[in-house]
Amino acid sequence: MSRLFLIRHGPTHAKSMVGWSDIPADLSDTEQLARLAAFLPPDALVISSDLIRASATADAIAGNRSRLPHDPDLREINFGDWELQRFDAIEDQDHIRRYWDDPGDISPPNGESWHEVSARVTGAVERLLRAHPDKDLIVVAHFGAILTQVQHALKISAYESFSHRIDNLSVTELHLKNSGWHAERINHLP
């Protein structure tokens, strides 16, 4: 059985849509980071998105675990022209509402649709599982990336996946068994 421990990076305190911008995380809560590191399996492999907020979080919790190279396919949603803008500042409010209310093929201008994000992240996870069969994997990523895997495990719609909270430094634990994916916990804060 393979287990995925999906960790959302530390907080950025940004009040806008942060996708591929390389904004650092606030990792000053060393007690929370220590609790998180202690909660995770000691022999798991650690990998992260290549964005600094995820890679620095992974480094902070890795301890003596083996660290795999960063994977850009684990990045957050590419918000394109909406990057670093507040939701209410987007000029085409109908477009952004459709993007969040009917996630799927709709994409921000010069950005990614939900289906594109999901295919990218799922491809990365599948490559990891093939490369490291029967190993526990700690994947430090982003809100959207984690929700793609929640959707996949629970076999729910993209819209339903958005009903799940994914807090910074939370653990979403998924198990791959013979019958498929099982969500052990979602948004657990150790």
What tens digit of pLDDT does each residue of 80-133 get?
999 999 999 999 999 999 999 999 999 999 999 999 999 999 999 999 999 999
Handedness of CA 78, 83, 84, 88 (dihedral sign): negative
Q: Express as a percent the part of the chain with pLDDT over 70.
A: 99
What tens digit of pLDDT does each residue of 99-110 get?
999 999 999 999
Question: Beta-carbon neighbour count of residue 114 at 10 Å?
Answer: 24
Amino acid 135: pLDDT: 94
Please give the model's pTM, rounded to 2 decimal places.
Answer: 0.95
| Domains of the chain with CATH codes | 2-188 (3.40.50.1240)
Q: How far is CA 2 from the centre of its chain?
A: 18
Distance CA 6, CA 128 (A): 13
Distance CA 73, CA 114 (A): 14
Amino acid 147: pLDDT: 97
> pLDDT-based confidence at 39, cuts 50/70/90?
very high
| CB proximity list for 130: less than 8 A, separation 6 or greater | none
| CB proximity list for 55: less than 8 A, separation 6 or greater | 48, 49, 70, 140
